[in-house]
Amino acid sequence: MSVALNAVERMDALAEGQGGFFYPWTSTLGADDGEDAYTALVERHLSPDLSVLEAGCGHGPDVLRFAPQVARYGGYDFSEGFVRIAGARAAAAGLTNVELICSNSSAGANDGRPRIPMPDASVDMIVSRRGPTNFILDAPRVVRPGGWLIQLNPMPSPRYAWDDELPEDLRSEPARDFDMAGHICGLLAQAGLALHSSWAFDVPEYFTDARQLYAYLAWNQFHGLGLRAQPLESALPALEAVMERHAGPEGLDVRRRRYLWSSRIL
Ligand SMILES: C[S@@+](CC[C@H](N)C(=O)[O-])C[C@H]1O[C@@H](n2cnc3c(N)ncnc32)[C@H](O)[C@@H]1O
């Protein structure tokens, strides 16, 4: 019987096993999947006098990318392993304006109300690439008037037509139809904030190799539910059959979906 790991344990396992938050599969991704748009949007808002905080900084790719463009760059993450790796990478890059904290901003970890590990009115902007959404509720306390929140959120793919043909432990998670735009707007409204701009991205992600499809599906189980799937070799015949039946000329399409939004603190 597999034991489900909680969210922090999952991230610490990735920090130890992979050295960071990397997708461990190879696929062909359609252009403009939202990641570059997020980078460009954040960079348009950066300037050398700003103090910026990153929610869910992971192993620090955006720390290295954005910190050289601002006065102060803080980041927090609930995985001690990720914070350690991000700190070592920032030091190796010679960044002296970076401060990273191991902290969980969720309500459950903070007496029932989300809490950002920063003092009142201490930053000009919060950015987050696929990090937690709970920080939104505490953002008006931490971000100075006129400041921005910018986040890129993963949106689950719709349930696959071939889901029932997968081995049971590799099938879609229950939260396939999660309404990310509604979730973000609901949190902003609760925080007394409004959406400034938003964009939804939905592009093809093709698999041509059943082994890579296994890596993708097994990751979704581990990342979403914290469960380890059966070994590759036992799952392979069923996955090869799915590919044979359902892949088009470019491969089997699982979709890659993202939601990008910004909000201004007034
Ligand atoms: C999808 S990963 C992205 C990491 C990084 N932003 C990147 O682009 O590689 C999400 C990150 O958010 C962190 N995280 C999720 N929920 C959190 C919370 N409640 N408090 C702090 N960090 C959290 C996870 O540990 C993880 O590093």
Query: 181 lies in a domain?
Result: yes
pLDDT for 221 equals 87
Look at ligand 1, atom 8, and give the residue with the nearest C-alpha: 129
pLDDT for 174 equals 65
Under DSSP, the state recorded for 122 is: -
Query: 67 lies in a domain?
Result: yes
CATH of the domain at 71: 3.40.50.150
Query: 234 lies in a domain?
Result: yes
Q: Evaluate: CB of 132 within 6 angstroms of ligand 1.
A: yes
User: What is the three-state SS of 123-135?
Assistant: EEEEEEECCCCHH
pLDDT for 175 equals 65
Ligand 1 atom with minimal separation from the 21 CA: 9
Query: 217 lies in a domain?
Result: yes
Query: 208 lies in a domain?
Result: yes
Grouping H, G, I as helix, E, B as strand and the rest as coil, residue 53 is strand
Q: Evaluate: CB of 129 within 6 angstroms of ligand 1.
A: yes
Distance 104 CA to ligand 1 centre (A): 10
Distance 154 CA to ligand 1 centre (A): 12
Between helix 80-92 and helix 7-18 the angle, nearest 10°, is 40
Task: Please state the domain count of the chain.
Answer: 1
Cα 137 to chain centroid, rounded: 18
Ligand 1 atom with minimal separation from the 62 CA: 8
Tokens 């037509």 correspond to 161
Q: What is the CA radius of gyration of the chain?
A: 19
Tell me how far apart the alpha carbons of residues 24 and 18 are, in angstroms, rounded to a whole number: 9
Strands (E) across the chain are located at 28-29, 51-55, 72-77, 98-102, 123-129, 143-155, 195-203, 205-207, 252-253, 256-264
User: Could you list the mean pLDDT of each consecutive 10-residue stretch along the chain, which spans 266 residues?
Assistant: 79 90 94 97 98 98 98 98 98 98 98 97 98 98 98 92 93 79 98 98 97 95 84 96 97 96 97
Q: Evaluate: CB of 224 within 6 angstroms of ligand 1.
A: no
Tell me how far apart the alpha carbons of residues 181 and 257 are, in angstroms, rounded to a whole number: 12
77, 113, 137, 259: residue to mutate for ligand 1 pocket, most atoms within 8 A of CB: 77
Query: 1 lies in a domain?
Result: no
Query: 44 lies in a domain?
Result: yes
CA dihedral 102→106→108→112, nearest 10 degrees, is 120
Tell me how far apart the alpha carbons of residues 67 and 52 are, in angstroms, rounded to a whole number: 8
Q: Evaluate: CB of 220 within 6 angstroms of ligand 1.
A: no
Tell me how far apart the alpha carbons of residues 133 and 77 are, in angstroms, rounded to a whole number: 13
Distance 236 CA to ligand 1 centre (A): 31
Instruction: Point out which residues pair with 99 in neighbouring strands.
Output: 74
Query: 186 lies in a domain?
Result: yes
What the block records as the tokens of 191 is 């925080």
Q: Evaluate: CB of 60 within 6 angstroms of ligand 1.
A: no
23, 42, 57: residue to mutate for ligand 1 pocket, most atoms within 8 A of CB: 57
Ligand 1 atom with minimal separation from the 104 CA: 20
Q: Evaluate: CB of 105 within 6 angstroms of ligand 1.
A: yes
Tell me how far apart the alpha carbons of residues 224 and 235 are, in angstroms, rounded to a whole number: 19
What range does the domain containing 107 cover?
7-264
Distance 130 CA to ligand 1 centre (A): 7
Q: What angle do CA 98, 99, 105 make, to 5 degrees?
A: 130
pLDDT for 157 equals 85
Tell me how far apart the alpha carbons of residues 7 and 57 are, in angstroms, rounded to a whole number: 15
